[in-house]
Amino acid sequence: MTFCDKLIVAVGVNPAKKTLFSEEERVKQITSAITSELDFLTSTNVVASSFQGLLVNYAKEVDAQILIRGIRSVSDFEYEINLAGINKTLTPKLETVFLPTSPELAVVSSSMVKEIFKHGGDIKKFVPQGIVKDLGDKFGFVKTGKTCSKCGKSDNLKLTDDKPPFTYCRVCGVVV
Protein backbone atom coordinates (compact mmCIF):
# COMPACT_ATOMS: atom_id res chain seq x y z
CA MET A 1 0.00 0.00 0.00
CA THR A 2 1.37 3.43 -0.88
CA PHE A 3 0.17 6.14 1.47
CA CYS A 4 2.87 8.71 0.79
CA ASP A 5 6.50 8.78 -0.33
CA LYS A 6 7.80 9.39 3.17
CA LEU A 7 6.06 9.26 6.53
CA ILE A 8 7.78 10.79 9.56
CA VAL A 9 6.44 9.80 12.97
CA ALA A 10 7.50 12.88 14.91
CA VAL A 11 7.96 12.88 18.69
CA GLY A 12 7.44 16.37 20.06
CA VAL A 13 9.60 17.13 23.08
CA ASN A 14 7.94 19.34 25.67
CA PRO A 15 10.32 20.14 28.56
CA ALA A 16 7.33 21.08 30.76
CA LYS A 17 5.87 17.57 30.42
CA LYS A 18 7.22 14.69 32.52
CA THR A 19 7.44 11.50 30.47
CA LEU A 20 8.37 8.00 31.60
CA PHE A 21 10.62 7.44 28.58
CA SER A 22 13.27 9.82 27.27
CA GLU A 23 13.17 11.38 23.81
CA GLU A 24 15.72 8.85 22.57
CA GLU A 25 13.83 5.91 24.09
CA ARG A 26 10.56 7.01 22.48
CA VAL A 27 12.16 7.37 19.04
CA LYS A 28 13.76 3.94 19.45
CA GLN A 29 10.41 2.40 20.49
CA ILE A 30 8.63 3.89 17.49
CA THR A 31 11.40 2.73 15.15
CA SER A 32 11.10 -0.77 16.57
CA ALA A 33 7.31 -0.74 16.16
CA ILE A 34 7.65 0.49 12.56
CA THR A 35 10.04 -2.36 11.80
CA SER A 36 7.98 -5.09 13.45
CA GLU A 37 4.37 -3.93 13.07
CA LEU A 38 4.03 -1.96 9.84
CA ASP A 39 5.05 -4.44 7.16
CA PHE A 40 1.98 -3.46 5.09
CA LEU A 41 3.65 -0.07 4.42
CA THR A 42 6.57 -1.58 2.52
CA SER A 43 6.29 0.97 -0.29
CA THR A 44 6.48 3.91 2.13
CA ASN A 45 9.64 5.18 3.76
CA VAL A 46 8.57 5.39 7.43
CA VAL A 47 10.96 6.90 9.96
CA ALA A 48 10.79 8.14 13.53
CA SER A 49 12.28 11.46 14.55
CA SER A 50 12.01 14.01 17.33
CA PHE A 51 11.79 17.77 17.46
CA GLN A 52 11.56 20.63 19.92
CA GLY A 53 9.58 23.80 19.39
CA LEU A 54 6.66 24.38 17.05
CA LEU A 55 5.47 21.50 14.89
CA VAL A 56 4.98 23.85 11.94
CA ASN A 57 8.66 24.80 12.08
CA TYR A 58 9.67 21.15 12.11
CA ALA A 59 7.28 20.46 9.22
CA LYS A 60 8.98 23.20 7.19
CA GLU A 61 12.41 21.79 8.12
CA VAL A 62 11.53 18.32 6.78
CA ASP A 63 9.48 19.69 3.87
CA ALA A 64 6.21 18.14 5.10
CA GLN A 65 2.99 19.18 3.37
CA ILE A 66 0.53 17.19 5.47
CA LEU A 67 0.22 16.61 9.21
CA ILE A 68 -1.57 13.42 10.22
CA ARG A 69 -3.11 13.60 13.67
CA GLY A 70 -4.77 10.78 15.58
CA ILE A 71 -8.16 11.31 17.20
CA ARG A 72 -9.49 9.17 20.05
CA SER A 73 -12.52 11.17 21.13
CA VAL A 74 -14.61 14.28 20.62
CA SER A 75 -12.44 16.15 23.13
CA ASP A 76 -9.34 15.17 21.11
CA PHE A 77 -11.06 16.49 17.99
CA GLU A 78 -11.91 19.82 19.63
CA TYR A 79 -8.30 20.30 20.71
CA GLU A 80 -6.87 19.12 17.37
CA ILE A 81 -9.19 21.22 15.19
CA ASN A 82 -8.12 24.35 17.07
CA LEU A 83 -4.46 23.36 16.73
CA ALA A 84 -4.98 22.72 13.01
CA GLY A 85 -6.45 26.19 12.63
CA ILE A 86 -3.46 27.80 14.34
CA ASN A 87 -1.04 25.70 12.27
CA LYS A 88 -2.87 26.72 9.09
CA THR A 89 -2.61 30.39 10.06
CA LEU A 90 1.14 30.03 10.75
CA THR A 91 1.83 27.90 7.64
CA PRO A 92 -0.99 28.23 5.05
CA LYS A 93 0.34 25.49 2.73
CA LEU A 94 0.40 22.88 5.54
CA GLU A 95 -2.70 20.66 5.64
CA THR A 96 -3.92 18.57 8.58
CA VAL A 97 -5.60 15.19 8.19
CA PHE A 98 -7.35 13.51 11.13
CA LEU A 99 -7.35 9.73 11.52
CA PRO A 100 -9.72 8.23 14.09
CA THR A 101 -8.43 5.36 16.17
CA SER A 102 -10.03 1.95 16.09
CA PRO A 103 -12.99 1.81 18.53
CA GLU A 104 -11.36 -0.78 20.81
CA LEU A 105 -8.38 1.54 21.40
CA ALA A 106 -10.32 4.82 21.75
CA VAL A 107 -10.13 4.79 25.56
CA VAL A 108 -6.44 3.82 25.77
CA SER A 109 -3.93 6.33 27.10
CA SER A 110 -0.33 5.98 28.22
CA SER A 111 -1.30 6.59 31.85
CA MET A 112 -3.94 3.84 31.68
CA VAL A 113 -1.46 1.41 30.12
CA LYS A 114 1.08 2.12 32.90
CA GLU A 115 -1.54 1.60 35.61
CA ILE A 116 -2.77 -1.64 34.06
CA PHE A 117 0.84 -2.87 33.83
CA LYS A 118 1.77 -1.84 37.37
CA HIS A 119 -1.19 -3.81 38.72
CA GLY A 120 -0.48 -6.94 36.75
CA GLY A 121 -2.87 -6.54 33.85
CA ASP A 122 -2.13 -7.76 30.34
CA ILE A 123 -1.22 -4.79 28.11
CA LYS A 124 -0.28 -6.72 24.95
CA LYS A 125 -3.49 -5.72 23.15
CA PHE A 126 -2.69 -2.03 23.70
CA VAL A 127 1.04 -1.74 22.89
CA PRO A 128 3.68 -3.49 20.76
CA GLN A 129 5.57 -6.34 22.49
CA GLY A 130 8.71 -4.20 22.80
CA ILE A 131 6.85 -1.70 24.99
CA VAL A 132 5.86 -4.47 27.42
CA LYS A 133 9.55 -5.26 27.87
CA ASP A 134 10.51 -1.56 28.10
CA LEU A 135 7.93 -0.97 30.83
CA GLY A 136 9.27 -3.97 32.72
CA ASP A 137 12.81 -2.64 32.42
CA LYS A 138 11.70 0.84 33.52
CA PHE A 139 9.89 -0.48 36.58
CA GLY A 140 12.81 -2.74 37.57
CA PHE A 141 12.76 -6.49 36.90
CA VAL A 142 14.49 -8.74 39.43
CA LYS A 143 14.99 -12.50 39.59
CA THR A 144 12.56 -14.08 42.05
CA GLY A 145 12.97 -17.77 41.30
CA LYS A 146 9.28 -18.02 40.41
CA THR A 147 8.03 -19.29 37.06
CA CYS A 148 5.07 -17.82 35.20
CA SER A 149 2.15 -20.25 35.12
CA LYS A 150 1.02 -18.81 31.77
CA CYS A 151 4.22 -18.89 29.67
CA GLY A 152 6.69 -20.82 31.82
CA LYS A 153 9.34 -18.05 31.80
CA SER A 154 11.25 -17.19 34.96
CA ASP A 155 12.30 -13.56 34.33
CA ASN A 156 10.02 -11.68 36.69
CA LEU A 157 9.37 -8.15 37.87
CA LYS A 158 9.06 -7.07 41.45
CA LEU A 159 7.73 -3.57 42.11
CA THR A 160 9.35 -2.93 45.46
CA ASP A 161 7.69 0.46 45.98
CA ASP A 162 4.17 -1.06 46.04
CA LYS A 163 2.75 -2.45 49.28
CA PRO A 164 2.67 -5.43 49.04
CA PRO A 165 5.20 -5.71 46.22
CA PHE A 166 3.91 -7.24 42.99
CA THR A 167 5.74 -9.72 40.77
CA TYR A 168 5.08 -9.60 37.03
CA CYS A 169 6.13 -11.89 34.22
CA ARG A 170 8.56 -10.12 31.86
CA VAL A 171 7.00 -11.87 28.85
CA CYS A 172 3.27 -11.77 29.63
CA GLY A 173 2.97 -8.72 31.85
CA VAL A 174 0.65 -10.62 34.23
CA VAL A 175 0.92 -11.09 37.99
CA VAL A 176 2.87 -14.18 38.99
pLDDT of residue 9: 93
Q: Regarding predicted confidence, which is higher, 130 or 69?
A: 69
Instruction: Say yes or no to pLDDT of 11 above 70.
Output: yes
Q: At what angle do helices 129-139 and 110-118 cross, to 10 degrees?
A: 60
CATH code for 6-105? 3.40.50.620
How distant is the alpha carbon of residue 69 from its chain centre? 14
Label residue 138 by pLDDT band (50, 70, 90). Answer: confident
* Strand duo 45-52 + 66-71: pairing: unpaired
Least confident of 58-72, 77-91, 115-129, 153-167: 153-167
Least confident of 44-53, 71-80, 134-143, 154-163: 154-163
In sequence order, what are the residues at sequence separation of 6 or more whose Cβ sits closer than 8 angstroms to the Cβ of residue 121?
173, 174
Q: Regarding predicted confidence, which is higher, 131 or 118?
A: 131
Counting DSSP H helices and E strands in the chain, the numbers are 5, 7
Instruction: Say yes or no to pLDDT of 44 above 80.
Output: no
Label residue 160 by pLDDT band (50, 70, 90). Answer: very low
Least confident of 73-82, 99-108, 138-147: 138-147
Residue-wise pLDDT for 57-102, tens only, equals: 999 999 999 999 999 999 999 999 999 999 999 999 999 999 999 9
As a whole-number percent, the residues of the chain with pLDDT over 70 amount to 74
Residue extent(s) of CATH 3.40.50.620 domains in the chain: 6-105
